[in-house]
Amino acid sequence: GRLEAVTQQMGYHPQYLDSFLKTQHYLMHMDGPLPFDCRHYIAIMAAARHQCRYLVNLHVLQFLRAGGDPQWLRGIDFIPPKLRNLNEINKILAHRPWLITKEHIEKLLKISEWSWSLAELVHAVVLLAHCHALASFVFGCGCEQDEGPAGRGSLKPLSLGNQCFCEATTGSGCSQELLHINRKRSLDSCMELDSFREHMQRIHVETEGREEMRLLQQDREEAGNRAPEHPSDPPVGLSPLADTSGEVTSATNLACYMQDPDFGYQDFARRNEDQTQVFRVQDYSWEDHGFSLVNRLYSDIGHLLDEKFRMVDGLQSSAMAKRQGCEPSVFKRGVWNYIHCMFGIRYDDYDYAEVNQLLERMLKVYIKTVTCYPEKTNLEMFDRFWKQFKHSEKVHVNLLILEARMQAELLYALQAITQYMI
């Protein structure tokens, strides 16, 4: 009867959980352009890009329950060419969505035996973006990690219950009883986790405490003396790419679900480089363009996605913002715009110097890691970068990461589809 980890974590914000479950249920289990087994296989392909065993295992079970061919689970060499043709757009969306062009869309839609329809492709794109972003949440909240005595996050196969969180809805609503149970269990499990972490911190305080204070003081002094940097630049000396001690076990087991596994995130633009490819929201936005297109080609999904985007923006974060010395709306917009900036999406009416003022450097590197290469997130990073936040606040920021990342991927894909249709 244990509720799985994603539902437990999102249970800190029940209204958002309700919206998330409705969207997930609609994507996976309601009428739509794609067959049910293909939906779960696309989810497997998306989760594999970030080595997210949690989601892969979950959707493998759901794929089989939907009547999927077990041979497909041997890897993409054993699936129909039509599905296999999604590899390129899956890879680009997951790591460098700004590279998607109308030519990628045209290649999938061209007239042939294995061509996609526009409605099918939109359904697939939403699934890919949804699962990429959900992988960030899974890693960011520690759902993927085995918290051992060493305090490091190594991945492990998980034992799943009979119910997938995407089936936790009935019709269009979420069970209030589920929300109540989830809330209680989330609080209980978090209290145990917090107690464990406090114990580990006491053990290591002598060896780590003074060094951490020194780093924090050094970061504050450097931040006060330096000009605002490009918001997507990782803090010097704290790059998550340099931290390779968090082992990802059995990653090769997921390699069969993807091509070009070495393809990963690269900074969209460095300082002093040509930024003519910047995606300007004033030219193509979710509200004015993306919503209507996706809703027209995949009925009602636009309304569900829009509700979810609005729900995360409306979550209360007064305590979190107070700790950062700003208004809640200012803090949330700073996090959202920082994430979009890492994917080359810019808002002309926003002063990006605010990002460096609102977000401490270690917090920025945590957000960038979870957003761009979540598989590199580990327990030490989670603990070290979040000492000033309550657990519910950590979940809140991870929800912002989930939604901001998903919207960024959708904007690029939908713009490419729009350009193809013109």
Burial class (CB in 10 A: 0-12, 13-18, 19+), 57: middle
Q: 3-state DSSP call for residue 256?
A: helix
Write the single-letter amino acid at 126. V
> Please, which residues have CB within 8 angstroms of residue 177's CB and are 6 or more apart in sequence?
none
State the Cα–Cα distance between residues 342 and 280, nearest whole angstrom. Answer: 13
Instruction: Compute CA distances 149 → 63, 203, 316, 379, whole Å.
Output: 35, 11, 34, 11
State the Cα–Cα distance between residues 212 and 401, nearest whole angstrom. Answer: 26
State the Cα–Cα distance between residues 72 and 38, nearest whole angstrom. Answer: 10
Of 24, 41, 28, nearest to 258 (Cα)? Answer: 41
Nearest-5° angle of CA 94, CA 96, CA 100?
Answer: 95
Beta bridge mates, 146: 154
Active-site entry in 52, 131, 164, 372: 52
Residue with tokens 């809703």: 295
CA–centroid distance for 366 within its chain? 13
Burial class (CB in 10 A: 0-12, 13-18, 19+), 299: middle
State the Cα–Cα distance between residues 151 and 169, nearest whole angstrom. Answer: 35
Establish whether 143 is a catalytic residue. Answer: no
Write the single-letter amino acid at 397. V
Mind telling me the catalytic residues?
Answer: 52
